A and B are shown apart, each in its own frame.
Chain A
Amino acid sequence: MERKIGETLLGVEHISLSFGGVKALTDISFNIREKEVFAIIGPNGAGKTSMLNVINGFYHPQQGEIHFKGLHRKQMRPHEAAVQGIARTFQNVALFKGMSTLNNIMAGRNLKMKTNLFWQALYYGPARTEEMINREYVEDIIDFLEIQAIRRTPVGKLPYGLQKRVELGRALAMDPELLLLDEPMAGMNIEEKQDMCRFIIDINEQYGTTIVLIEHDMGVVMDLSERLIVLDYGRKIAEGTPDEIRGNQVVIDAYLGVAHTN
């Protein structure tokens, strides 16, 4: 499928976020374009996860606006963000530990499933048909992520690498336009990372999903992303293509911990 980078999908304008006295984000602005793979990097504590949380509607910024698909919003509940087409994975895997892989991913389809209580109680009829349609959709994702064998395993029993994959599956099940990945490769070995990279590239190319990635592995970031921004202490200190960022002295200083003069 031809992948064309399109118009601005998500615009972040002058976002500032604080908790009590602590400023997590200060005056951040950037754009993400359709079908792009975009990365947010920076040293620990720079505010990357907070930024994702703002996009998700989980944190509400004190200042600034977000527009998504052309609509402006200041406050959005996480549920609305999901319905609008924003999905994400989490730094600490946020799977439903009491359910199986299949049910976790099926849970991602919940917002697309509409049959009411009466039909659910009956099961036979529209509810079952809807269940089967969605089951097929989820099975495609399971095939794509090569996790057929662990379909029925309770996710609490899975190794960390597989859990992250299931979480990715759950996010995909939401059929998102924008996928936020918070350190999807953390704690993985080389093979697992290669698999994950392959999935991310495939998702972007086959499904046309726009991806925002937080990642610490610079090799991965430089290979996967088309553009990125660098955060440090809640501020944006650089923006550009991987090549531009690689040589940027300010970025290098931030990572090495050189003191700022502001």
Chain B
Amino acid sequence: MFYREAGQFKTTYISDQELFPVKQDRWGILLIIGFSFIVIPLIANDYWLQAILIPFLIFSLAALGLNILTGYAGQLSLGTGGFMAVGAYSCYKLVTIFPETNVILLILVSGFFSAGIGLIFGIPSLKIKGFYLAVATLAAQFFFEWLFGRVKWFYNYNDSGAIEVPVRKFFDIAVTGPIATAQTRYVVVLCIVTFLALIAVNIVRGRIGRAWMAIRDMDIAAELIGIRPLTTKLIAFAISSYYAGVAGALFVFAYLGSAEVEVFDINISFEILFMIIIGGLGSISGAFLGAAFIVLIPILITNLPRMLGMPINAATVEHFNFMILGALIVLFLIFEPHGLAKIWTIMREKLRVWPFPY
């Protein structure tokens, strides 16, 4: 009844390939974006911003990066944490070496360091496939975990071994550092993530996106129709690592405030992999859906029993977190490998004919 495409005819190829051909979708998305930019900073309290929305956005960005590499281009990577670390530590060095430069610019620049590293670790992908490639990415993961923990230059010879985010301003408003408010940090993260997400959407629907999917589905055939496998894979590694790098920088600068390299260990790599599996491999919205899901689960597990009057201790929460996460991964892969994004599409299909069943 409400969600009908009747009367919406596409008369040009341009309009046929619009992002949101259905008018109701377009309104929906504009509403969400408007809400996020205008309403939320005004009404959300600090807890929601700090504990849910900011990490959700940052993880979505990292998941977006991984989805490009693994979901679209079919190259399994277990090294997301390592690439995020490169972004975070490059940003830290840049910010401390160039204290006068705009910090948002530096965050965006630090992604390029990750991209470079991604290119290097992507070179093996010409000869190596499947889980062998995953092992190459593990090499990146463990190497960078070690590098940023042991080579003191990276954390400016701090005694604690941690990096602390200094205060930086943007038009006189503190954007990073202990005095930056949650609202400011939220807006910064939202702008960066929206911008990069739009770019991702554009790239994915063009020739590069098709080349990635071709390589993923059958790389031999792709080569035979004129797609260069190495170039395509390297572009995927570079872009994906760029996104992971910016996400890593934001993770420390806009979310944690200070960090030791352990936050980027193998667990975060697995977490982000789970996000794209649950959210939907090869889907931009899937990255966001998966990130939301995984950010919310521990919060639900902690708060639900308390609301029901049966509080459980922190250790048990973590155990259940692992169990539920693991079980969900297996269930999604068995029943809906295209994740929440596919479930959402199916729901919309049903909505199109509602209130009729088919």
Contacts and interface: CB of A to CB of B under 8 A. Distances in A.
B207 A110 contact: yes
Contacts of B206: 115, 120, 123, 127, 131
A69 interface: no
Interface string B259-283: 0000000000000000000000010
A99 B210 contact: yes
Interface string A133-174: 001100100000000000000000000000000000011001
A97 B222 CA distance: 12
Given A90-B221, A98-B282, A106-B210, A117 B227 contact: no
B210 A107 contact: yes
Contacts of B221: 90, 94-96
Nearest to A114: B207
A190 interface: no
Nearest to B230: A79
A136 B13 contact: yes
Contacts of A58: 220, 224
Q: Decide if the interface of chain A is mainly helix, strand, loop or mixed.
A: helix
A82 B14 contact: no
Interface in A38-91: 56, 58, 77-79, 81-83, 87-88, 90
A88 B224 contact: yes
A139 B13 contact: yes
B226 A99 contact: no
B213 A174 contact: no
B211 A135 contact: no
Interface string B89-108: 00000000000000000000
B308 interface: no
A121 B225 contact: no
B256 interface: no
Nearest to B206: A120
A220 interface: no
B45 to A, nearest CB: 36
A83 B213 contact: no
Nearest to A82: B226
Interface string B204-236: 011110110110111011111111110000010
Interface in B172-217: 199, 202-203, 205-208, 210-211, 213-214, 216-217
Interface residues of A, number: 41
B282 A79 contact: no
B160 interface: no
A78 B223 contact: yes
A250 interface: no
A110 B202 contact: no
B134 to A, nearest CB: 20
Contact of A98 (B13, B217, B225): B217
B17 interface: yes
Interface string B61-102: 000000000000000000000000000000000000000000
B224 A82 contact: yes
B195 to A, nearest CB: 10
A133 to B, nearest CB: 9
B13 A96 contact: no
A174 B210 contact: no
Interface string B315-348: 0000000000000000000000000000000000
Nearest to B281: A98
A117 B223 contact: no
B226 A117 contact: no
13 contacts: A58-B220, A79-B228, A98-B216, A98-B282, A109-B207, A110-B207, A110-B226, A111-B227, A120-B206, A120-B208, A132-B13, A135-B13, A139-B13
Q: Which 10 A-B pairs have the closest CB atoms?
A: A111-B226, A82-B226, A96-B217, A123-B202, A94-B221, A121-B199, A113-B207, A78-B224, A135-B13, A78-B223
Given A97-B218, A98-B213, A123-B205, 10 more contacts: A82-B226, A88-B224, A98-B216, A98-B282, A99-B210, A108-B225, A113-B207, A117-B208, A127-B202, A132-B17
Interface of A: 56, 58, 77-79, 81-83, 87-88, 90, 94-99, 103, 106-111, 113, 115, 117, 120-123, 127-128, 131-132, 135-136, 139, 170-171, 174
